[in-house]
Chain A
Amino acid sequence: MAAVSLHDVRKRYGKTDVIHGIDLDVSDGELIVIVGPSGCGKSTLLRMVAGLEVVTDGEIRIGDRVVNRVEPKDRDIAMVFQTYALYPHMSVFDNMAYGLKIAKLSKDEIQRRVDEAARLLELSGLLSRKPAALSGGQRQRVAMGRAIVRQPSVFLFDEPLSNLDALLRVQMRLEIKQLQRRLGITSLYVTHDQVEAMTLADRLVVMNAGVAEQIDSPMAVYAKPATRFVAGFIGSPGMNFIEGELHAGRLLLANGDVIVPREAPVHSGEVTAGVRPENLAFVEPQAADFSLQVVSVESLGAETLVHGVVAGRSMASQEGSDVIAGVAGRSLAVRAAGTLDVTEGDTVGLQVAPGGWHWFDNTSGRRIPEA
């Protein structure tokens, strides 16, 4: 067990900066998920913690030790790779025992630890098989087992579920979470899948282009995204964005249209207004803030996704409502629970939920605090 802390960690390949100074404090037993699009540097960051990449600048601590110059094997970590990296010429038992044999543990101890891990992961009947004779899910478990038997202070997961099919991924996601809770081992988990990130994490690190855009609990990240990037990345379908110039509570769009939102921050300048698809509600035309001409309807049973374009002038323009005047042609996604009686070509009324607007400064990309 150990806490992990990163202080202004940077990575440079030649003249290219790939990680621009990351600060992160992981407390003991915490499960941190690092999420971001491919190429954002999340795997590189994990590999630096593992000791597989040299840290260009900054400091990484595991427990009380600065480990920048410590060999991977001496960092007291275990890593689960995306490709599992099982030794193909060794049996499941030997795969799990490999590190223990090198550590010169006694035969009995090795046997005991491997048996215990195998029982935990339901691999007991497969110990003599070679990896080639295992299914994807079983290989994934062996990779987990190899990490567990070493009883490390820190687990590192590098997209461990991305080679599994959708159903198995959901199942293994649950198992990893339970396992991590039970063992209470500090974990860093890298993924590009935001659902995985949201469900697993105690805290999320949302990365983009080598920068940690936000580090917070999944719900906080969802409710108050710190930057426009985070707002667009977390949530599916993504947040609807409208760019314009905010002035005295009115949002002027490039084509001259105007939006008068119910709540707007005290701020002037180029901004992006965002509203999540689930914060738009279908209402009667009289109560609507604006209307949407439906382009396509995706019924998923539990919920319905409606894509459409804002259809001209708002129907209601009474005081204190969101007025979207003449924002014709702007496409929006709306998400509603259950099934919905809407078809392509319909025009429906929409209302923005209270607190549904998010505002971001266009120059910095950062969130503008609410009024």
Chain B
Amino acid sequence: MAERVVFRSVWLPWLLVAPQLIITAVFFLWPATEAILQSTELPDPFGLSTQFVGWDNFDYLFGDRYYRASFLTTAIFSLSVTALSMSMALLLAVLADSVVRGSGVYRTLLIWPYAVAPAIAGVMWLFMFQPSIGLFPYWLKVLGYEWNHVLNPGEAMSLVVIASAWKQVSYNFLFFLAGMQAIPRSLLEAAAIDGASPWHRFRTIVLPLLSPTTFFLLVINVVYAFFETFGVIHTITAGGPGQSTMIMVYKVYADGFVGQDLGSSAAQSVVLMLIVGVLTVVQFRFIERRVHY
């Protein structure tokens, strides 16, 4: 048995993990506790005192038609972003995998969008699709289509979905490509000799063998769409027009920091926290038994 290395000092191990512990405490534990506390309180209009109200914030929240609508909006948004970014990434990964020459260049270029901050990405897409100065609305107009996502809820949703998916394609692409390159070449050659067409090989060999990657990405993408798309929404639509792109995480901000309803905002945070918790559990349970063959 290997000899275990033991720290002689009691303090050194603590010192070494301290940065991570501090970050977790300051940026997660403290705000989370605050959110849970605030979700049971109601501040007075001037924010000078608070009053314990128990479940009232939650009761009010689930009775709110706009909040229930936000659930649906979030579901549509997340599924669309996940489906679009994963299918695009898979397509690009298949293409990049078949490239022999200069594959490094393609890979680098395809990874770039991941380095762009969500807000910057949002602004970039906003410029391209801005109804009065954007290039795309101009071209669409030439084709006879009047684009105005500021007024049209469907177009607004499409735009934030595209912008959010675009940012996530890189990440998915990387995992899909790595997954595909891990499939032994000889398997595909054996299948080719067995008479399988390229499409048949993809369907019966590549896709099943990619399934652990696909499921992992599914969870990651849903979590991404739930939480990390705030910047895109904020810069492009700010939840509008109306409530059409008001996903839950944006509503936390809009109700709390714009609407100054801190109790409701905190209650929404707690609900979100529970959702991410459930998603994480699903993810970990799957990864634990990812024995698929």
B192-206 interface with A by 8 A CB criterion: 192-196, 200, 204-205
Q: A89-B209, A102-B200 are in contact. Are A81 and B189 (CB under 8 A)?
A: yes
Partner of B196, one of A50, A51, A102, A132: A102
**Interface range, A side:** 20 to 34
Q: A85-B189, A89-B292, A132-B293 are in contact. Are A102 and B209 (CB under 8 A)?
A: no
Partner of B190, one of A85, A89, A132: A85
Tell whether, in the assembled complex, residue A87 and residue B187 are in contact, meaning their CB atoms are under 8 Å apart.
Answer: yes
A88, B291: Cα distance in complex, Å: 11
Tell whether, in the assembled complex, residue B209 and residue A88 are in contact, meaning their CB atoms are under 8 Å apart.
Answer: yes
A302, B138: Cα distance in complex, Å: 89
B184 on the A face (CB < 8 A): yes
A198, B207: Cα distance in complex, Å: 42
A73 on the B face (CB < 8 A): yes
Q: For B200, list chain A residues within 8 Å (CB).
A: 102
A248 on the B face (CB < 8 A): no
Partner of B186, one of A73, A83, A99, A150: A83
B111 on the A face (CB < 8 A): no
B154 on the A face (CB < 8 A): no
A78, B196: Cα distance in complex, Å: 13
B88 on the A face (CB < 8 A): no
Tell whether, in the assembled complex, residue B190 and residue A79 are in contact, meaning their CB atoms are under 8 Å apart.
Answer: yes
A71, B187: Cα distance in complex, Å: 17
Q: For B205, list chain A residues within 8 Å (CB).
A: 87
**Interface range, B side:** 10 to 19
B151-209 interface with A by 8 A CB criterion: 184, 186-187, 189-196, 200, 204-205, 208-209
Q: A83-B186, A85-B184, A102-B200 are in contact. Are A50 and B292 (CB under 8 A)?
A: no
Partner of A99, one of B187, B194, B209, B292: B194
Q: For A79, list chain B residues within 8 Å (CB).
A: 189-190, 193
A132, B200: Cα distance in complex, Å: 23
Q: Quick one: closest A residue to B186, CB to CB?
A: A85
Q: A83-B184, A99-B195, A102-B196 are in contact. Are A88 and B293 (CB under 8 A)?
A: yes
Q: For B209, list chain A residues within 8 Å (CB).
A: 88-89
Nearest chain A CB to B276 CB, angstrom units: 31
Of listed A71, A83, A98, residue having the most chain B CB within 10 A: A98
Q: For B186, list chain A residues within 8 Å (CB).
A: 81-83, 85
Q: A88-B293, A89-B208, A130-B293 are in contact. Are A150 and B184 (CB under 8 A)?
A: no
Nearest chain A CB to B181 CB, angstrom units: 16
Q: For B189, list chain A residues within 8 Å (CB).
A: 50, 52, 72, 79, 81, 85
A77 on the B face (CB < 8 A): yes
Q: For A166, list chain B residues within 8 Å (CB).
A: none
Q: Quick one: closest B residue to A79, CB to CB?
A: B193
Partner of A89, one of B184, B195, B196, B293: B293
Tell whether, in the assembled complex, residue B293 and residue A150 are in contact, meaning their CB atoms are under 8 Å apart.
Answer: no
Nearest chain B CB to A176 CB, angstrom units: 18
Nearest chain B CB to A332 CB, angstrom units: 43
Q: Interface 1/0s, chain B 199-243, versus A by CB < 8 A? A: 010001100110000000000000000000000000000000000
A103 on the B face (CB < 8 A): yes
Q: For B194, list chain A residues within 8 Å (CB).
A: 73, 98-99, 102, 146, 150
A87, B206: Cα distance in complex, Å: 10
A167, B38: Cα distance in complex, Å: 72
Q: For B293, list chain A residues within 8 Å (CB).
A: 88-89, 130-132
A43, B100: Cα distance in complex, Å: 21
A85, B196: Cα distance in complex, Å: 15
Of listed A79, A82, A103, A146, residue having the most chain B CB within 10 A: A79
Tell whether, in the assembled complex, residue A78 and residue B193 are in contact, meaning their CB atoms are under 8 Å apart.
Answer: yes
Q: Quick one: closest A residue to B291, CB to CB?
A: A132
Q: For B190, list chain A residues within 8 Å (CB).
A: 79, 81, 85, 87, 146
A76-128 interface with B by 8 A CB criterion: 77-79, 81-83, 85, 87-89, 98-99, 102-103
Q: A88-B209, A89-B209 are in contact. Are A73 and B187 (CB under 8 A)?
A: no
What 8 A-B pairs come out closest when comparing CB atoms?
Answer: A99-B194, A73-B195, A85-B186, A85-B190, A89-B293, A88-B293, A102-B195, A89-B208
Given contacts A73-B193, A98-B191, 6 further A-B contacts (CB under 8 A): A78-B193, A81-B186, A87-B190, A99-B194, A132-B293, A146-B190
Q: Chain A interface (Cβ within 8 Å of chain B)?
A: 50-52, 71-73, 77-79, 81-83, 85, 87-89, 98-99, 102-103, 130-132, 146, 150
- CB<8 Å pairs between A and B, sample of 18: A72-B192, A73-B195, A81-B189, A81-B190, A83-B184, A85-B184, A85-B189, A87-B190, A87-B204, A87-B205, A98-B191, A98-B196, A98-B204, A99-B195, A102-B196, A103-B195, A131-B293, A150-B194
